[in-house]
Amino acid sequence: MNRVLAAVALASVAVCPLAAQSKKADCTGHAASKAGHIRSCPSLAKQIDEVLSAPLVARAHWGIMVAAMDGTPLYSLNEGQLFQPASNTKMFTTATAMALLGPQTTFETKVVARGRFNTPANLTGDVVLVGGGDANLSGRSIPYIAPAQRPKPTPGGSPLPEPDALRYLKQMADDVAKTGLKVVNGDIVGDDTLYPWEPYPQDWSIDDSLWGYGAPVSALTITDNQLSLKVAPGTAAGQPAVVSLDPIAPYYTVDATNLVTGPAKSSSHVQIDRAVGSKVLRLWGSIAVDAQPDDEEIAIHDPAEYGATVFKSLLEQRGILVTGVARAKHRLPTDARNFFTASHEALMLEPRTYTAPKPAPSGCANNCAAAGSETVLASHTSPALIDDMVWTNKVSQNLHAEMFLHNAGAAVLGDGSTVNGVRVVRAFLTTRAGVDPDDFVFFDGSGLSGHDLLAPRATVRLLQYASTQPWFADWKRTLPIGGEDGSLISRFGKTALKDHVFAKTGTLGEARALGGYLECASGRTVIFSIMDSTHMPHSSDDMKAMDKIVELIAAAN
């Protein structure tokens, strides 16, 4: 027997709901067997069995669970086994943040003068840009607007301009200039000490650190801690390619001496690399003279340092003399406990609403008194948490999910470390949501860690619990909608399920996941989680099988 067929026979449980007891579904009712299991609804079980036995997906490991909105199981396959959740992790992180922090929580970034004013125009000391956990110091338009609803340029007109990526830093620099400050006899400091400096959670791949989706985590986040790098061909074959970074700032050096323009219709091969700890981006290869520009998102090595560098430049552009340098102020981690053990320590969440995490005064981590007097020169308040959460789940933004995790740890435990954030999420899931503590292991908030593990039934339990909470409507609208927006915009759009799937995607290496809510043919809504691992590399056949299974579930219910 095919091992997938055997797995279905041994581990599959399906309940044939009343709505599915029709000739179309070919369900014949259900009854408990002697072993206490529920016999499967023949049509749905058989159809899923056929999908999973196809040669291109049969060698992957699959886990599925479907339940009614009240949690009643409708179908399951390996529902208690562990899989890599990838970005399905974000549902657990954001649900925790929604429940504990609240949808209207905001985060404040401050510019403070630390030192002594000799005159109102002359500061002996530092100007400090203090990160408060705001993920949206960028040109992003908030709130999120579905692609179909976004303004369109007039026919033949130019594309609508994007907001300035540094607009909020520029506003704060304007406010500093309005105070009359003219000379800073000191440094410009980027302070991210709200979180310990743990830029990369455990088991994030070194390969990811170059790219925007693997950007380092910092309480002072500027433009998603990434820059837009564009490679365009020169005007003729053999000429150097044209490379640009946006926003333009004195941070990275680009070495593109070995990147050339290739002949028309030739293949384009552009390679990008940055040595660990280096600020030199090296590009090589070729781009065809008639090719479209290649756009990439490049991670910022040290976001706090970058923020200080940019802010120093902005102050100087406004006529403020800075005698010192731009530098970062980090708080190094001091917790030496084993991560797994510490994250599993019991935590009783108090029955109260937690307030937004706040940095220490001026961001100084230890002896603030020694820093001298302080004056707030400017500040910026973030959009509401719910608005950022919509963006985070819709487009599956890794960095923002990590910041939700750290902000939860800072709010509940007074310290925004990774392990504290994970501990808070675990406490919320096990003591409030009723998730089995053995059904999940998290090492981060986004799912980019290869150590993260999750059982499909844990996802279903979270989704069922969320549906009973007062914040459910807000949280559900953060999920991508099939055929409509976010990471599901290109899935289910050509089927009857368009606008009827509300689910979070997940992709990591050879693992994939999809979990959420499904409006079925009968009009009822069910909860589902589909996960697979060890599928063939560089293949989307498992995703196609996953989507087909969703269609089968909708038709049978």
Q: Return all residues near 275 (Cβ < 8 A) that are at least 6 apart.
A: none
Q: What is the pLDDT confidence band of residue 111, given thresholds at 50, 70 and 90?
A: very high
Average confidence (pLDDT) over 416-433: 98
Q: How confident is the model at residue 372 (pLDDT cuts 50, 70, 90)?
A: low
Output 28 or 192, whichever has higher pLDDT: 192
Say what the pLDDT of residue 359 is.
Answer: 66
pLDDT of residue 36: 31
Closest CA to 60 of 543, 553, 503, 550: 543
Structure tokens at 382: 């973030």
CATH topology for the 108-207+301-384 domain? D-tyrosyl-trna(Tyr) Deacylase; Chain: A; (3.50.80)
What is the reported pLDDT for 220?
98
Alpha helices, H only, 318-455: 339-343, 385-395, 398-413, 418-431
Q: Is residue 199 within 8 Å of 263, Cβ to Cβ?
A: no
**Cα Rg of the chain, angstroms:** 26
SS (H, E, C) 245-274: EECCCCCCEEEEEEEEEECCCCCCEEEEEC
Q: What is the pLDDT of residue 451?
A: 97
Domain ranges for the chain, please list them: 3-101+387-556, 108-207+301-384, 229-298
Q: In the predicted model, is pLDDT for residue 399 greater than 60?
A: yes
Rounded to whole angstroms, the Cα distance separating 467 from 51 reads: 30
- The region that residue 198 occupies, defined by phi over 0 for left and psi between -120 and 50 for alpha, beta otherwise, is beta
Q: Which two tokens stand for residue 116?
A: 């002594």
User: Could you say which DSSP state residue 395 is in?
Assistant: H
Give Cβ neighbours of residue 542 (< 8 Å, ≥ 6 apart).
57, 60, 512, 532, 535, 536
82 φ, ψ (degrees, to nearest 5): -100, 140
Residue-wise DSSP of 98-137: HHHH-TT---EEEEEEEEEEEETTEEEEEEEEE--SEEEE
Q: What is the pLDDT of residue 151?
A: 85
Element containing residue 552 per DSSP (H, E):
helix 541-556
pLDDT tens-digit readout, 316-364: 999 999 999 999 999 999 999 999 999 999 999 987 667 767 665 544 4
Give residue 227's pLDDT: 96
Tally Cβ neighbours within 10 Å of residue 540.
14
Q: What is the pLDDT of residue 17?
A: 42
- Of all residues in the chain, the percent with pLDDT exceeding 70 is 89
> Are 3-101+387-556 and 108-207+301-384 the same fold in CATH?
no
Q: Topology of 3-101+387-556 in CATH?
A: Beta-lactamase (3.40.710)
Cα–Cα distance list, 154 to 87, 148, 151, 157, 160 (Å): 37, 15, 9, 5, 9
Poorest-pLDDT segment among 31-35, 158-162, 264-268, 321-325: 31-35
Q: Which pLDDT does position 41 carry in this prediction?
A: 64
Helix (H, G, I), strand (E, B) or coil at 525: strand
Q: Is the pLDDT of residue 164 over 50?
A: yes
Average pLDDT along the chain:
90
SS3 454: strand
